[in-house]
Amino acid sequence: MSSEDFEPEIIAFLCNWCSYAGADLAGVSREQYPPNALNIKVMCSSRVSPEHVFESFHEGADAVLISGCHPGDCHYIDGNYKTMRKAELMKKMLDDFGINPQRLRLEWVSSAEGGKFAKVMEEFTEEIKELGPLDLNGTSLEGENDE
């Protein structure tokens, strides 16, 4: 596939209070951005676990976005700080799996930042287009099975 007609599949986890609201505001402001990402709402970004991210890649996502409230703004006090730590860890793990950690992106988008949400979508899609499709190359991302 040439990078021209490669349309990345992106899973975007958005927290209910800020980022999902920011995405709503992008709509109200009629921002335009590429339709590549499919949004999954969670109450707080801290809900997103490594399994969700790895499953996304395993199922064919070329990239994953986790977006929450700005540090200090989390509706659940400090959920986004936990997200920050988890994201670091996940990036390391991706690197170990041979997946470019750039394919996982963490963003803070507030409910007033419709423009920023659109810009993130735009940039991220572009960036992944350049990286090309994710080739898992037989890497198994499935979590360990429960005994």
Partner 1 sequence: MKKMKKDVLVIGGGITGVQSALDLADKGYEVVIVDKKPSIGGNMVKLDKTFPTDDCSICISAPKMVETSRHENIELLTYSEVEDMSGSVGGFNVDVWRRTKYVDPSECTGCGDCADSCPVEVPNEFDEELSTRKAIYVEYPQSVPLTYTIDYENCVGCGACERVCDAESIHFLERSEQIKLNVGSIIIATGFEMMEPDEWREEYGYDQYDDVVTALEYERLLSSSGPTEGNILKPSDGKAPEKVAWIQCVGSRCKQKGMPYCSRVCCMYATKEASITKGDDPDIEPYVHYMDLRAYGKDFQQYYEKAQEKGVKYRRGRPSRVYKTEDDKLAVEYEDTEKGEVKTNKVDMVVLSSAIVPSKGNEKLAEILGIEVDEHGFFESKDILTAPMESTRDGIYLAGCSQSPKDIPDSVAQASGAAAKALQPLKGRKRKGKPEKPEERDITEEEPRIGVFICHCGKNIANYLDVEKVMESIKDIPEVRYVSDPTFACSEDAQAEFKDAVEEHRLNRFVVAACSPRTHAELFKDTLEEIGLNRYLLEMANIRNQCSWVHSDDPEKATEKAKRLTKMAVSKAKRLAALKEHEIEVGDKTVIIGGGPAGMQTALSMADAGQEVTLIERDDKLGGKLNRLNTLFPSDIDAGELARNMSHRIEDQDNITVKTSTEVQEVEGYVGNYELTLSDGEVIESDTIVLTTGFKEIDPDDFYNYEGDDRIMTQMELDEALEKDSLEDPENVVFINCVGSMEEERPWCCRVGCGNSLKNAKAIKERYPDSNVYILYKDMRVFGKNEEEYYADVQEQNGVIFLRYSTEDKPQVSEKGDKIHIKVHDNLLDDDVEIDSDYLVLAMQLEGDPSASELQKMLKLSSNPSGFFMEAHAKLRPLEFPSEGVYLAGGAHYPKNIADTLSQADGAASKAEVPMMRGYTKSVGMIAAIDDDRCSGCKMCISVCPYGAIDFNEEDEVAEITDVLCKGCGSCASVCPSNAITQKGFDDDQISAMIRSALTDEVV
Exposed, middle or buried, 60 (CB in 10 Å: 0-12/13-18/19+)?
exposed
Residues linked to residue 108 through DSSP beta bridges, in sequence order: 68
Dihedral over alpha carbons 31, 46, 103, 109 (to 10 degrees): 20
Torsions phi, psi of 99, nearest 5?
-105, 130
Residues contacting ligand FES: total by CB under 6 A: 13
- Window 8-47: residues binding ligand FES (CB under 6 A): 15, 17-18, 44-46
Q: Decide if residue 120 touches ligand FES (CB under 6 A).
A: no
Max CA separation in the chain (angstroms): 50
Q: Decide if residue 127 touches partner 1 (CB under 8 A).
A: no
To the nearest 10 degrees (0 to 180), the angle between helices 50-58 and 79-97 is 40
- Site of tokens 């709509």: 27
Using the minimum distance from each CB to partner 1, give the nearer residue, 75 or 127: 75
Q: Decide if residue 118 touches ligand FES (CB under 6 A).
A: no
- Window 58-87: residues binding partner 1 (CB under 8 A): 59-61, 69-70, 72-73, 75-79, 82, 86
Which residues here bind ligand FES, judged by CB under 6 A?
15, 17-18, 44-46, 68-69, 74-76, 79-80
Which residues here bind partner 1, judged by CB under 8 A?
9, 11, 16-18, 20-21, 23-33, 35, 38-44, 46-49, 51-52, 55-56, 59-61, 69-70, 72-73, 75-79, 82, 86, 110-116, 118, 146
